[in-house]
Structure 1
Amino acid sequence: MDMQSVGEAFIRPGQMLTDRSALSAASRWTSAVSEADGVCVIHLSPGADPCEVAAELRDQGVRASPNHVFRGQPLFFGGPASRPFPAPPIRYKPGQTRSDVVIGLLDTGVAEHPWWSGNDWYEQLGPDDTDAAEGAQAGHGTFIAGLLARRAPGAALRVRRVLDGDGFGDEATVVRALHRMRERPPHVLNLSFGGHTFDDRPPPLLSDALAALSDTVTVACAGNTASDRPFWPAALAGAVGVAAVDASQEHRAPYSGHGTWVDACARGDWLTSSFLRGGEFAGFAAWSGTSFATAVVAGAIADAARDEPTKEVVSRLLGSEEARQIPDLGVLVPASL
């Protein structure tokens, strides 16, 4: 993916996001515009800086931002990579548990696997939503789907591929996928990716798109940055930001993002789940990252939502006086996988 680094954030060069109402305000910097699903990507004239243009437009009250690049979070920026490792088959039988809860999964897609063979939600996937076959994060979505399936038995997944096989996607792609979910919003939305913004402020188009899913609980990873710098979309006020604790579920995983903007945490180290089949992998893997802690929390919320409204589940979970609170990591959600 073509991108450049700006203040430890990544953006698509020469691109800016806005909506149709702002096109006239940005016209003097505009070379071309591509519009789809309510999002306008402005291709800037040579020499125009997306960050500077976005800042100037925001000063005029316009909703605009550079087209930020996001990435799945099983990798530790600046440190050793946590790649997936082959794991023996996991004894798990989907069973006959029924649930009306729908979990939205925006990721690398989901590949065929025995755990969901014959499930209606998987049969409805098109070729654009199947998992990438190659890349450093191929299988990321399939791994998360398995965590969700085991933590929230019977829940249906609504899958959209927004990341490539290396785990990269951009804000425009994510916002457009969110807009397409408005007609049938999921109860819970799992976003195991993210990134920093050029000015550490909330990305307005992404914030608006998530706010439009007003009945959906968004659960997003705090990032594998080992810092307290806000990581988006997890740091949005309307999202449940999830950090990772180690296998003991006592301490912060050393790679995990943390801070006052984090709401919950769960085990992120050495989780095992469904994976691609091929090479040394026989359909199962062990992997670490805040990506996977996020799925543990999203699955716990979805499972409880079988019996009560999703928003009430989150209020109870985050506001419980009995739950263990870890400073800068929020409420601990025990992993039962």
Structure 2
Amino acid sequence: MADYNVVRRRIEAFRSDEIVLDPKDLRQVRQRLDALQITMTFLAASARLGLHRYRLGGIAAGVGSLGPGLVERVRAAAAGTYMEGETPSPLDLLLFHLREASAAAHQGYQPVVAKVRVYENIEGSPYSGGSVGDPRPVAAFGLPARSDSTRRRPRIGILDTPLHPHPKLAGRYLLGSPGALLTEEQQQVSFSGHAIFVASVAAAQAPDAEFVIYPVLDAKKLTTSSWELATTMVGALDDDLDMMIIALGGATADGREPLILARACERTSGIVKVAALGNNGQDKAAAPEGTQFSELPPNTPIWPAASSTVIAVGARNEAGDAAAYFCPTLEEAPWTDCTAPGVNLPGFFLPGQVWMAELDVVAGVVKVTDRSAVFPAPGHATWSGTSFAAAYAGGAIAQKAYSQGVPVRELADKLFWEDPDRAPTTYDSAPPAGLDIVRFMK
């Protein structure tokens, strides 16, 4: 369905009237759009991504002039992409035409042009997983003390919602951009506590780390675009990061890595990137009664976690001997790089009465429920999800590097790259707690 200029399908969501393209292809694309009487309005440019962003007008009328055969060719080329009842959007038809026409005229050459995708907190639409169930109040606890070392501390970027300024995290974080701190609201909603929970889980594993907060997700709607995420990632090159923890993502109908994110991942290659595998697992036998399962099949790659440049982290159950019921298994998601605890993890949270929020997966609308809980100040909770498994893993890697006196990048390379002949492990041999390397990157 289309909603505020967003096309939402079971697998993907994207802006219905926006594209990004490499400026090298601007002349060719503009000529073809002019021929179809489709207008282009410049929105933004990123030199670090090497991409321009445009809003298009008159797409439906323009592609309508190309004849009904275009729809049939798109469907034939994208077998399995569209679910029952779904049809190619005008933007799908246009992008196919641009690539098809260029390939025919230029010996297979296709312009670098793509959609601006919509990403959401991992309970977003399309539902991709990050936090599972309601956060629950728990007894107060503190973070491990920092060491007395005077060496430079590992610096970890948290790309998430704005941060609730929890007093127990004070002195351990910096603000990466305006709006990084959560604005107090009369009615507090559970999703707004996502970033502080992620940061505190990472800090519990990496007490010597320093965190930089990047508010890429709206605290209420939990949405962002691939453009905002990617430009934030390359913008962080100025902030001397060692690692990014990315607890959000989305799927693509064709299972391919989105152009904008691929550019961002490649151009931040010096920074270790850790991302949530996704909460689209389907172990219904192990799930609590009443669990709402993801709309996405468990074998659907979630980006950026599935990127070859990113460490994808899955969540283990509390026993540590299998995937958590909400997490894809290693067989379903072979792009998994490691697993970590992800069920009922303790973390910092919002204080006071907090109303639990849910997402209408089809409409992509956040709904505040009639469920609430009171979290005694300053706010502590338990929560589950691959977001928090990713935070756990990222913190563990960063602290291990610091304790060994080596750069985070060097340790990550050693863990995931340097022994390709070692057989991947399985959940059967996973430790009951801590990080488990299950696949070596190639």
Q: In which range does the TM-score fall when normalised by the shorter chain?
A: 0.7 to 0.9
> Structure 1's 91 and 178: CA in aligned 2 closer, same or farther, altered over 3 A?
closer
> Structure 1's 81 and 262: CA in aligned 2 closer, same or farther, altered over 3 A?
closer
The answer to whether the 8 Å contact 1:242/1:290 transfers is yes
Counterpart Cα distance in 2 of 1:58 and 1:334: 48
Structure 2 match to 1:300: 396
| 2:136 pairs with 1:85 | yes
Gaps of 5+ in 2: 61-89, 101-108, 282-297, 354-373, 436-442
Structure 1 match to 2:434: 335
1:177 to partner: Cα distance: 0.5
**Local SS of the residue matching 1:142:** helix
Structure 1 match to 2:166: 113
Counterpart of 2:94 (choices 53, 63, 67) is 53
1:63 to partner: Cα distance: 2.6
Structure 1 match to 2:156: 103
* Offset from partner CA, 1:266-286 (integer Å, 9 cap, x none): 111111101122311231111
- Kindly report the root-mean-square deviation, in angstroms, between the aligned alpha carbons of the 2 structures: 3.0
Counterpart Cα distance in 2 of 1:108 and 1:181: 16
Please say which structure displays the higher CA radius of gyration.
2
Q: In the TM superposition, what are the counterparts of 1:19-58 in structure 2 within 5 Å?
A: 19-27=22-30, 28=33, 29-38=38-47, 39-48=51-60, 49-57=90-98
1:57 to partner: Cα distance: 4.5
> Structure 1's 285 and 203: CA in aligned 2 closer, same or farther, altered over 3 A?
same
| 2:387 pairs with 1:316 | no
The answer to whether the 8 Å contact 2:40/2:54 transfers is yes
* Offset from partner CA, 1:24-55 (integer Å, 9 cap, x none): 33321443120044453221223343333344
1:318 to partner: Cα distance: 3.5
| 2:254 pairs with 1:242 | no
Percent of pairs with identical residues:
25
The answer to whether the 8 Å contact 1:106/1:191 transfers is yes
Structure 1 match to 2:273: 218
Counterpart Cα distance in 1 of 2:148 and 2:120: 33
TM-score (norm 1): 0.87
The answer to whether the 8 Å contact 1:131/1:161 transfers is no
The answer to whether the 8 Å contact 1:262/1:330 transfers is no
Counterpart Cα distance in 2 of 1:333 and 1:53: 50
The answer to whether the 8 Å contact 2:128/2:302 transfers is no
Structure 1 match to 2:343: 269
Structure 2 match to 1:206: 261
Gaps of 5+ in 1: none
1:51 is matched by which residue type in structure 2? D
The answer to whether the 8 Å contact 2:132/2:279 transfers is no
TM-score (norm 2): 0.68
Counterpart Cα distance in 2 of 1:78 and 1:20: 32
> Structure 1's 126 and 177: CA in aligned 2 closer, same or farther, altered over 3 A?
closer
- How many equivalent residue pairs? 333
